[in-house]
Structure 1
Amino acid sequence: MKLVVVSAGLSVPSSTRLLADRLAAATARHASVDVEVVELRDLAVDIAHNFTSGFPGRALSAALEAVTEADGLIVVTPVFSASYSGLFKSFFDVLDPDALSGKPVLIAATGGSARHSLVLEHALRPLFAYLRAVVVPTAVYAASEDWGAEGLAERIDRAAGELGRLMEGMGAVRGDDVADAADASVAVDTDTAAAIAPRPLDGARVSADRFTVIPFEQQLAALRP
């Protein structure tokens, strides 16, 4: 499986890249993955040109292709003005809107103060939910005081484990014959289906795919004593 790490750190060395590398290494301990790192600081000019010209350069095209074809992503940004960095957001602005649909993503961020930790929930998680990615439950924030302190290693390992299991689960599904799986899911004996199907209320409508639609007024009436 291919794991792509997107790091938006600007300095060298970068705490953002350090966190990205630790998350990637932890994920590799939980699942068999080939890791590729996309360093956004090297693509800043290409990203700006893409906005003005509408065409990505060769390096940016390769990065966008890597993200699109990845089986899972780790994305890490520094916190600027209580949110993700402009470079980080710009990269995902030029990415195809459907590229992350259904893709497992681990979100992470670094900052100078623990007070910015909620950036994961009020900025990053909504962004990737909008892009229809599957964001793992555990997000990782590392403030300056977290490095070397208790707790960070455990959060990294927990988040990496969630990403690894999600990637393996989705990879197993993709490896199956989708058509056979679809046929198996609907190959139910009709007599059995009829026996277990709930009886619709008076006035309810049953569609062709056996979903029961109950008028709202009847639902309200059923709640009254």
Structure 2
Amino acid sequence: MKFVGLSGALAGHKTSHMVFKVLHAAKLQNQDIEIELIDLKDYDVEFMRGYPLAYYNDDTQLVVNKLLEADCIVIGTPVYQASISGSLKNLLDLLPERAFRDKIVGFISTAGSDKYFLVAEYHLRPIIQFLGGVVPSRNVFVPDSSFNVESEIDDDLIDRRIMKFSEEFLKLSKK
């Protein structure tokens, strides 16, 4: 089974750290799964222009194809202006319709204020479902206050939520 984590931020390290924690928690529970972190800041993903995928650069094709080949995907996003990141939305626009068919696709998000904890729920869940993904019932919000100065999660409650989140991924993937 291939479990891919997607960090949808172009700045900082909090989002990629959150996504890696989910992948690592899943790997701790099942050593047989293959995990991979895709951090959008490491790729030159082009803006969506409505062309077939073959007309985009190599990085764009690589990232889209890695997502298409995954069995499970965890998407991480910061919340900017009460919405998911623009780089993440752009990538999702590049995916073909039903790209997530038969895939378990969940999300983890962060924001500067707790009042944004439902943003990913209202913005990402409908997109994932439109693309055919099966969304776990449990998704995770990590407030800025749960990170230390090195942008690492330093909150036992959040760590437990991430572990439960990855457990649900693995259970759903077996079905």
TM-score norm. by structure 1 comes to 0.69
Gaps of 5+ in 2: 148-153
For residues 95 and 87 of structure 1, the distance between their equivalents in structure 2, rounded to whole angstroms, comes to: 13
Q: 2:49 aligns with which of 23, 40, 51?
A: 51
The 8 Å contact of residues 64 and 95 in structure 1, kept in 2 or not, is answered as yes
Structure 1 residue 142 displacement after superposition = 0.7
Number of equivalenced pairs: 166
| Residue number in structure 2 paired with 1:60 | 60
| Residue number in structure 1 paired with 2:41 | 41
| Residue number in structure 2 paired with 1:149 | 155
Is 1:2 matched with 2:2?
yes
| Residue number in structure 1 paired with 2:26 | 27
Percent same amino acid among aligned pairs? 26
TM-score norm. by structure 2 comes to 0.88
Amino acid at match of 2:146: D
| Residue number in structure 2 paired with 1:18 | 17
List aligned pairs for 1:66-85, cutoff 5 A: 66-85=66-85
The 8 Å contact of residues 27 and 164 in structure 1, kept in 2 or not, is answered as yes
Gaps of 5+ in 1: 171-225
| Residue number in structure 2 paired with 1:98 | 98
Q: Secondary structure of 1:24's partner?
A: helix
**Higher helix proportion:** 1
Amino acid at match of 2:2: K
For residues 68 and 50 of structure 2, the distance between their equivalents in structure 1, rounded to whole angstroms, comes to: 22
For residues 46 and 118 of structure 1, the distance between their equivalents in structure 2, rounded to whole angstroms, comes to: 27
For residues 95 and 153 of structure 1, the distance between their equivalents in structure 2, rounded to whole angstroms, comes to: 31
Say which one has the larger Rg: 1
For residues 136 and 30 of structure 1, the distance between their equivalents in structure 2, rounded to whole angstroms, comes to: 17
The 8 Å contact of residues 99 and 132 in structure 2, kept in 1 or not, is answered as no
Higher relative contact order (CA 8 A, sep 6+): 2
Amino acid at match of 1:4: V
Structure 1 residue 150 displacement after superposition = 3.8
Between 140-149 and 71-80, the greater mean CA deviation after superposition: 140-149
The 8 Å contact of residues 47 and 94 in structure 1, kept in 2 or not, is answered as no
Amino acid at match of 2:83: S
Structure 1 residue 53 displacement after superposition = 5.7
Structure 1 residue 75 displacement after superposition = 0.5
Amino acid at match of 1:166: L
- Structure 1 residue runs of 4 or more that deviate by more than 6 Å after TM superposition: none
Aligned-residue RMSD, C-alpha: 1.6
